[in-house]
């Protein structure tokens, strides 16, 4: 009789582990940036095609206050043009090629408008919207919130940033939006586990049993970034975290299925 109890316990634990692993959300970093040019419509649609749960994107303002989706403060790395985002008008941005540096297959891929990305993602994939602090933002938080509300997508996005002031502004403006703080080193002046935020977007090396326990006790969700090696994906899949951020959502998907 005892052996049947042990077998039942083993099977129950195994099934519980499998179910939990499947609950870990997949966040495609800058879209599926391992397969398409980062922060483009192509990368977001690829993430949706691969059935990632979220596409993470970066938002900044141009010189003429237009919201565009790009990570760097300068266009050189992704387009070859050495100009800063805050010194460039959208008419100039629209002419840039954000695809050729990745592959000739994507030649002519544009740096997208934030609203265009919202339209592309709506009903297909959730968005993790990072507010980029380039030191020149004017009304970045306000404009992002306005665009999200205009598209009626408040329940389909989370807003994150390395800049706590920006996140506090979002929280003050719209308490219904989920907000997260991004960090890879614990800030010395704040206990992030007690902060008025929903999500701890942590550099994956910070994640261990202790940090997961603290986050769960404080009711906060953990996002682990940016995880591209299979061995790191496997280690993190064993923790009770909300999401793993990766350039390769297809690889992470296979590991979570094991």
Tell me whether residue 31 is in a domain: yes
Tell me whether residue 206 is in a domain: yes
- For residue 139, pLDDT over 70 is answered with yes
Task: Provide the annotated active-site residues.
Answer: 29, 71
Beta 54-61 vs 67-69: how paired, if at all?
A: antiparallel
- For residue 8, pLDDT over 60 is answered with no
User: What is the model's pTM?
Assistant: 0.91
CATH number at residue 37: 3.20.20.190
Query: What's the domain range around 199?
Result: 24-257
Expressed in angstroms, the distance from the first to the final Cα of the chain is: 31
Q: Average the pLDDT over 13-37 and give the result.
A: 77
Tell me whether residue 13 is in a domain: no
- Residue 249 contacts residue 52 (beta carbons within 8 Å): yes
Tell me whether residue 18 is in a domain: no
Question: What is the model's pLDDT at position 5?
Answer: 53
The whole-angstrom separation of Cα 258 and Cα 252 is: 10
DSSP state of 109: P
Which parts of the chain fold into alpha helices (H)? 2-23, 41-49, 76-79, 90-93, 114-121, 140-150, 164-173, 209-217, 230-236, 249-257
Provide the percentage of residues in the chain whose pLDDT is more than 70: 91
Question: What is the model's pLDDT at position 17?
Answer: 46
Question: What is the model's pLDDT at position 9?
Answer: 45
Mean pLDDT, rounded, of the chain: 93
Q: Average the pLDDT over 194-209 and give the result.
A: 98
Tell me whether residue 7 is in a domain: no
Digit-coded pLDDT (tens) for 29-67 = 999 999 999 999 999 999 999 999 999 999 999 999 999
74: left (phi over 0), alpha (psi -120 to 50) or beta: beta
Tell me whether residue 103 is in a domain: yes
Q: Which of the four pLDDT bands, split at 50, 70 and 90, describes residue 258?
A: confident
Tell me whether residue 9 is in a domain: no
Question: What is the model's pLDDT at position 15?
Answer: 45
Q: Domain count of the chain? A: 1
Q: Which of the four pLDDT bands, split at 50, 70 and 90, describes residue 165?
A: very high
Please count the other Cβ atoms lying within 10 Å of the Cβ belonging to residue 15. Answer: 10
- For residue 13, pLDDT over 80 is answered with no
CA distances from 172 to 93, 177, 231 (A): 32, 10, 39
- Helix (H) and strand (E) counts for the chain? 10, 9
- For residue 136, pLDDT over 80 is answered with yes
Digit-coded pLDDT (tens) for 109-133 = 999 999 999 999 999 999 999 999 9
Tell me whether residue 15 is in a domain: no
Which H or E run contains 158?
strand 157-161
């Amino acid at each position: 009789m005892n052996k049947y109890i042990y077998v039942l316990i083993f099977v129950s634990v195994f099934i519980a582990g499998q179910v939990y692993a499947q609950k870990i959300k997949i966040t495609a970093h800058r879209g599926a940036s391992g397969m398409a040019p980062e922060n483009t419509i192509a990368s977001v649609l690829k993430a949706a095609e691969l059935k990632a749960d979220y596409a993470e994107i970066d938002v900044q303002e141009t010189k003429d206050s237009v919201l565009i989706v790009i990570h760097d403060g300068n266009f050189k790395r992704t387009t070859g043009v050495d100009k800063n985002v805050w010194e460039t008008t959208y008419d100039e941005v629209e002419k840039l090629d954000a695809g050729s540096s990745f592959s000739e297959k994507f030649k002519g891929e544009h740096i997208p408008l934030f609203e265009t990305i919202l339209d592309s993602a709506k009903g297909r994939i959730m968005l993790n919207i990072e507010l980029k602090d380039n030191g020149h933002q004017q009304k970045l938080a306000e404009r992002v919130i306005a665009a999200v509300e205009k598209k009626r997508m408040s329940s389909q996005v989370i807003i994150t940033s390395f800049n706590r002031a920006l996140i506090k502004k979002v929280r003050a403006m719209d308490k219904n939006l989920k907000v997260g703080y991004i960090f890879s080193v614990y800030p010395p002046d704040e206990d992030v586990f007690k902060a008025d935020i929903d999500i701890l977007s942590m550099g994956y090396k910070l994640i261990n049993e202790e940090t997961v326990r603290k986050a769960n006790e404080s009711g906060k969700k953990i996002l682990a970034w940016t995880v591209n090696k299979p061995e790191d994906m496997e280690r993190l899949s064993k923790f009770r975290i909300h999401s793993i951020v990766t350039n390769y959502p297809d690889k992470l998907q296979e590991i979570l299925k094991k």
